[in-house]
Amino acid sequence: MQIKKTLFNVLIALAFSSSSVFADQKSGYLGDAYPKLKTETAASGDKVKRWLSPELLSGKYTAVMLKETVFFPEPKPTEQVSADLLNEIRAYADTALRRELDDVIDIVDEPGPNVLIFKPAITAASAQDEGLKAYELIPVAFVFSRVKKASGSRSKEAVLAMEWQVQDAESNEVIGAGIRAGVGSKLKAPDDQVTLENLKPLLDVWAKDARTFFKSSKAK
């Protein structure tokens, strides 16, 4: 009962919070980097939260190791987010990132001088009621909110959140970190399962933003 009450309180708080797309979500993946994050604009025009150290921006890096996308914390499938979908999200995120970075920076398998390590994590996968001001992301449970209007159910959109960090491959020092969240396509019915097709456009945009970032940050 206490868990249900807590979840309900979180949903209410998010539903009536500010229009920030992040709703102060912190999965814990970024450790002590959260206080350093500032709201900025990505190449796509999306608002993101990130921190980039002067070392990362120095232009000395020539290659990147791409770690596989992980889920943090490990999600539990729901009626609308299946285990198969979670695996598809992870695989497509990795594929899209490699596709976009392949011709802008060397992708390597081993650490070395002037090599970055990019470590992405999906921290929430959900569905929000269309028209709400804040994303209803509950990272711990990967659950779907079921907010109802008096006249019935709102339409729902697929929502995804990612956190990432960049390390120096020699020192393992974290030199960059960020959070972003976004909305995919609208579900045809409130109870429909989310599919990869709902989220592909969103993941493609994120991968293209990564392309722009790594292209501008690598050594000339």
How far, in Å, CA of 149 to CA of 214, rounded? 44
What pLDDT, on a 0 to 100 scale, did the predictor assign at position 19?
29
Token reading at 79:
């009626």
Element at 86 (helix H, strand E):
helix 83-101
Q: Phi first, then psi: give them for residue 177, nearest 5 degrees.
A: -160, 160
Position 125 scores a pLDDT of 64
Beta bridge pairs of residue 66: 118
Three-state DSSP class for residue 102: coil
For the chain, the farthest-separated pair of C-alpha atoms sits apart, in whole angstroms, at 61
How far is Cα 167 from Cα 147, in angstroms, rounded to an integer? Answer: 39
Residue 23 neighbours by CB under 8 Å, 6+ apart: 14, 17, 134, 135, 136, 137
- 8 A C-beta contact, residue 160 and residue 89: yes
CA angle 147, 150, 151 (to 5 degrees): 110
∠ Cα 105 165 40 (to 5°): 90
- Per-residue pLDDT tens for 166-182? 999 999 999 999 998 88
**Cβ–Cβ < 8 Å for 61, 71:** no
Q: How far is CA 49 from the centre of its chain?
A: 11
- Give whole-number Cα distances, 185 to 40, 150, 201, in Å: 24, 24, 8
The amino acid at residue 81 is V
What does the DSSP 8-state code read for residue 5?
Answer: H
For residue 116, how far is the Cα from the chain centroid? 19
CATH number at residue 115: 3.40.50
Which residue positions in the chain have pLDDT lower than 50?
1-23, 128-152
Domain count, the chain: 1
Question: Are 155 and 187 within 8 A, CB to CB?
Answer: yes
Bridge partners for 162 per DSSP: 122, 180
pLDDT score for 83? 82
- Residue 185's domain comprises 2-217
Per-residue confidence (pLDDT) for residue 211, from 0 to 100: 94
Q: What are phi and psi of 37, to 5 degrees?
A: -70, 140
pLDDT computed for residue 73 by the predictor: 79
Q: Say what the pLDDT of residue 154 is.
A: 56
